[in-house]
Amino acid sequence: MLEVRDLRISFRTEHGRVQAIDGVSFDVGESEILGVVGESGSGKTISLLAVMGLINDPNARIEGSIKLRGRELVGLEPREMRKLRGREIAMIFQDPMTAMTPVYTIGWQIAEQIMAHEKIGKAAALARAVDLLAEVNIPNPREAIHRFPHQLSGGMRQRAVIAMALSCNPALLIADEPTTALDVTVQAQILDLIRKLRRDHKSAVVFITHDMGVIAEMADRVMVMYSGRIVERGTKAEILLEPRHPYTRALLDSIPPLEGEKPKRLRSIPGSPPSLFDLPKGCSFAPRCPSRFERCAERPALEGGKHAAACFLKVAS
Amino acid sequence: MLLALLRRFGQMIFVMFGISVLVFLIFFVTPGADPAARIAGRNASPETLEAVRKSFGFDQPVWVQYLTMMKKLFVTQDLTSFVNRGWKVVPAVLDTIPVTLSLVIGAAILWVVFGMLVGLIAAATRGSWIDKLLMALGLVGCAMPVYWLGEMMNLVSQSRYHDTWLFSWVPPLGYKNLSDDPRGWFLTLVIPWFTLAILYIGLYGRVLRANLIEAMQEDYIRTARAKGLSETRILLRHALRTSLISFVTLFGLDFGALVGGAALLTEVVFGLQGVGKLTYDALQNLDLPVIMTTVIYASFFVVLANALVDVVYILIDPRVRSA
Ligand SMILES: Nc1ncnc2c1ncn2[C@@H]1O[C@H](COP(=O)(O)OP(=O)(O)O)[C@@H](O)[C@H]1O
Ligand code: SF4
Ligand SMILES: [Mg+2]
């Protein structure tokens, strides 16, 4: 239902143009959960903000094609895009503490979204808001609609944000690290909730995270990003059990084990992602890659059909 | 709520007390302020001087004099001027209040409405020529001395172009009572209102623009965009409310000060007998009873304006309510 082809996003900066997203292509099927994983700065957020049409930096240039159920979104009229946003595609963001306008009640904000897209009265919209809050397991929803965001805990706020995102039954929900700011038990509840909602609403979900552990719980298919490119993609089983790209393997090594004794220190990936101003000519992971060899001075393409990796090693193995 | 009101009231009493003591003390250590000499006249003999000193109570300890003055001001309300003998101060000040209030409230409405428009339009079109033009005009407005602007306005509307269709409606300078002559009241005040407001429109517009632009970077604005709301709605419903805090704070300070007498220059240029003019005249001849009365009145308004600002905060931001 979502087809992204050769997406390129660059920003004009004082130090010249940077290519933040460089030729990213992916699909999301109906009611599928696509996990997008990568370290901070790898371009997860902006590639999906582009799908939402929410990159409004005047220095940005967006090229390529983004099709939602066959309709091209790149270059779509702002008015038309606005009609899709919140109705066909919804997005929830990392920090529930700041995601809602502090001066309006939860119910008001949910009703506002419904009324922006449907011809419906305020009372009916508020009644829908009550149902939605009940659906995301907020206790006492009839009373909760009168609460202001600061009166709810982080977990409850994220539930309210999810309820708002689902208020118009979007075909696609983009969740950008929705649990990163929450503590572990709340995180598990929110993940459960998103899975349940996917079942009930049949929405497709793009789930962004930097945590392979969350990917293991949530995703059907996985796309691994590194400095603005996809380095590996495949089904969850393929990525978790037979990772091909050294970066994917390094990310998997950094998951804390769910059971047994915790290691004293998690193995983290040595080095840090390259600056966008100074990307290596060949494989962008080369400076940090333990298996680097001569060919890596060239740029590896993403190859291998359904389970694809952008690494020269796969040919050898 | 009642507690907050009581606290405000206590604060007001405290401020008024502190200021009155301060004014009193400053007055008594000011050289050449000897009220007896003033009252007795220039060439009074030492005997007359002594008699005046006695009859006005200036020979008593300062704190007794203070208490006497406060009693005359608040209880018997028959405080008289040190300069114009027998002139009752309290009614004189009460007479000036409607003049100042009319001037300041009218100007405040103008500068709030236009300041908000300027801020909103500039923020919505930021970086464009409209934004730059508005900010430049605002700067010019802030930079113009009110006295000069007022004189220019008078020159244009009272003499130069008074006979043209544009300004023939302008009545002569001076204040008309709202209850006697509402039309005259309005017409005499239109030009003073605009003159005073122009000083503030640019400043308020600039402050609001800065706060709006800051608010537009917030996460909840991104959420509002993700909901599919229009940019206008996002600006007016989501960014504006949270951006009004500085605007309101500034308004409380300026409004309190102006009602308390800071509109002096405007009052003088337009021949309005307001509180500022009265205070200014009293300061010229060190007329302590008048100074004391206007200062107490002014501190009352400053504290009142602050209390109103607090109420507005509560209306604007629910987080203040529960804090
Ligand atoms: N407006 C912008 N101007 C310049 N660079 C940007 C802008 N927005 C994002 N970037 C760059 O794009 C890269 C990807 O950012 P992001 O998508 O937020 O990463 P992630 O979500 O994976 O942490 C970052 O290196 C960031 O510096
Ligand atoms: S292409 Fe080379 S450097 Fe890049 S990940 Fe593969 S082995 Fe490592
Ligand atoms: Mg991100």
Q: Hey, are the CB atoms on A86 and B226 less than 8 Å from each other?
A: yes
**% of chain B beyond a pLDDT of 70:** 98
Residues B205-231: pLDDT tens digits?
999 999 999 999 999 999 999 999 999
A65 assigned to some structural domain? yes
Question: pLDDT band for position A264 (50/70/90)?
Answer: low
A212 assigned to some structural domain? yes
A238 assigned to some structural domain? yes
pLDDT at B75 over 70: yes
One domain for residues B48 and B155? no
| A145 touches A129 (CB < 8 A) | yes
A131 assigned to some structural domain? no
Question: pLDDT band for position A261 (50/70/90)?
Answer: low
Residues A44-78: pLDDT tens digits?
999 999 999 999 888 999 999 999 999 999 989 99
Q: Hey, are the CB atoms on B318 and A102 less than 8 Å from each other?
A: yes
One domain for residues B183 and B42? no
What does the pLDDT read at residue B4? 72
pLDDT at A108 over 90: yes
Coil, helix or strand at residue B255: helix
Residues B150-162: pLDDT tens digits?
988 888 888 778 7
Give the mean pLDDT of B143-156. 88
What does the pLDDT read at residue B27? 76
| B140 touches B202 (CB < 8 A) | yes
Q: Hey, are the CB atoms on A54 and B224 less than 8 Å from each other?
A: no
Question: pLDDT band for position A121 (50/70/90)?
Answer: very high
B5 assigned to some structural domain? no
B312 assigned to some structural domain? yes
Residues B225-277: pLDDT tens digits?
999 999 999 999 999 998 998 899 999 989 988 988 888 899 999 999 999 99
Between residues B322 and B122, which one has the greater pLDDT? B122
B87 assigned to some structural domain? no
How far is residue A255's CA from residue A240's CA, in Å, rounded to a whole number?
A: 11
Name the residue facing B227 among A113, A148, A150 (closest C-beta).
A113
One domain for residues B71 and B219? no
Strand arrangement of the beta sheet that strand A89-92 belongs to: A89-92, A172-176, A204-209, A33-37, A221-226, A229-235, A308-309
B187 assigned to some structural domain? yes
B1 assigned to some structural domain? no
| A208 touches A45 (CB < 8 A) | yes
**What is the CATH number for B249?**
1.10.3720.10
One domain for residues B135 and B185? yes
pLDDT at B129 over 50: yes
In total, chain A counts a number of residues equal to 317
Q: Which residues contact A99 (CB under 8 A, 6 or more apart)?
A: A92, A93, A157, A158, A161, B219, B220, B223
Q: Hey, are the CB atoms on B227 and A112 less than 8 Å from each other?
A: yes
Q: Which residues contact A215 (CB under 8 A, 6 or more apart)?
A: A35, A37, A207, A209, A222, A236, A239, A240
pLDDT at A315 over 60: no
**Chain B nearest-CA residue for A115:** B229
How far is residue B34's CA from residue B37's CA, in Å, rounded to a whole number?
A: 6
Q: How far is the CA of A285 from the centre of ligand 2 (A)?
A: 6
What does the pLDDT read at residue A182? 85
**% of chain B beyond a pLDDT of 90:** 36
**Average predicted confidence (pLDDT) for chain A:** 90
A184 assigned to some structural domain? yes
Name the residue facing B219 among A87, A90, A95 (closest C-beta).
A95
Strand arrangement of the beta sheet that strand A16-28 belongs to: A16-28, A2-13, A60-68, A71-72
What does the pLDDT read at residue A267? 61
Which range among A87-101, A296-310, B25-39, B263-277 shows the weakest confidence by mean pLDDT? B25-39
Element (H, E) at A225: strand A221-226
pLDDT at B122 over 90: yes
- Chain A hits for B225, CB-CB cut-off 8 Å, are 54, 56, 85
pLDDT at A257 over 80: no
Write the burial class of residue A112 (CB in 10 Å: 0-12 exposed, 13-18 middle, 19+ buried): buried
What does the pLDDT read at residue B49? 81
A13 assigned to some structural domain? yes
Q: Which ligand is nearest to the CA of A13?
A: 1
- Chain A hits for B314, CB-CB cut-off 8 Å, are none
How far is residue A243's CA from residue A265's CA, in Å, rounded to a whole number?
A: 22
One domain for residues B212 and B317? yes
Give the mean pLDDT of A226-231. 94
B130 assigned to some structural domain? yes
Q: Hey, are the CB atoms on A116 and B219 less than 8 Å from each other?
A: no
How far is residue B175's CA from residue B278's CA, in Å, rounded to a whole number?
A: 14
How far is residue A197's CA from residue A132's CA, in Å, rounded to a whole number?
A: 11
What does the pLDDT read at residue B190? 92
Q: Which of A7, A13, A45, A46 to mutate to test the pocket of ligand 1 (most atoms within 8 A of CB)?
A: A46
One domain for residues B219 and B306? yes
Q: Is the torsion defined by CA of A259, A158, A89, B239 positive or negative?
A: negative
One domain for residues B277 and B199? yes
Give the mean pLDDT of B77-93. 85
What does the pLDDT read at residue A262? 54
| B212 touches B243 (CB < 8 A) | yes
pLDDT at A4 over 50: yes
One domain for residues B308 and B243? yes
pTM (2 d.p.): 0.85
- Paired tokens of A23: 């030729």
One domain for residues B285 and B208? yes
In total, how many domains does chain A have?
A: 1
Between residues A49 and B299, which one has the greater pLDDT? A49
- Which domain does B263 fall in, by range? 93-322
Ligand 2 atom at shortest distance from the alpha carbon of A296: 2
| A28 touches A2 (CB < 8 A) | yes
Q: Which of the residues A103, A118, A164, A180 would you substitute to probe the B interface, choosing the one with the greatest number of B C-beta atoms within 10 Å? A: A103
What does the pLDDT read at residue A6? 95
What does the pLDDT read at residue B54? 81
What does the pLDDT read at residue A266? 55
What does the pLDDT read at residue A37? 95
Q: Which residues contact A194 (CB under 8 A, 6 or more apart)?
A: A162, A173, A175, A178, A205, A207, A218
| B260 touches B1 (CB < 8 A) | no
One domain for residues B102 and B218? yes
One domain for residues B116 and B68? no
In total, how many domains does chain B have?
A: 2
A3–B contact, CB cutoff 8 A? no
pLDDT at A265 over 60: no
What does the pLDDT read at residue A317? 46
Question: pLDDT band for position B200 (50/70/90)?
Answer: very high
- Which domain does A197 fall in, by range? 2-100+172-258+275-316
Which range among A2-6, A300-304, A310-314, B73-77 shows the weakest confidence by mean pLDDT? A310-314
| B129 touches B192 (CB < 8 A) | no
* Residue bearing the CA closest to ligand 1, atom 5: A11
B53 assigned to some structural domain? yes
Which range among A148-157, A231-240, B29-38 shows the weakest confidence by mean pLDDT? B29-38
**What is the CATH number for A296?**
3.40.50.300
Which range among A96-100, A175-179, A285-289, A311-315 shows the weakest confidence by mean pLDDT? A311-315
Angle at CA B249, nearest 5°, toward B245 and B253? 170
CA nearest A28: which of A93, A76, A82, A89?
Answer: A89
**Which residue's structure tokens are 């079942």?**
A199
Ligand 1 atom at shortest distance from the alpha carbon of A57: 1
What does the pLDDT read at residue A256? 67
One domain for residues B109 and B217? yes
How far from the centroid of its chain's Cα atoms is residue B233's Cα?
34
B13 assigned to some structural domain? no
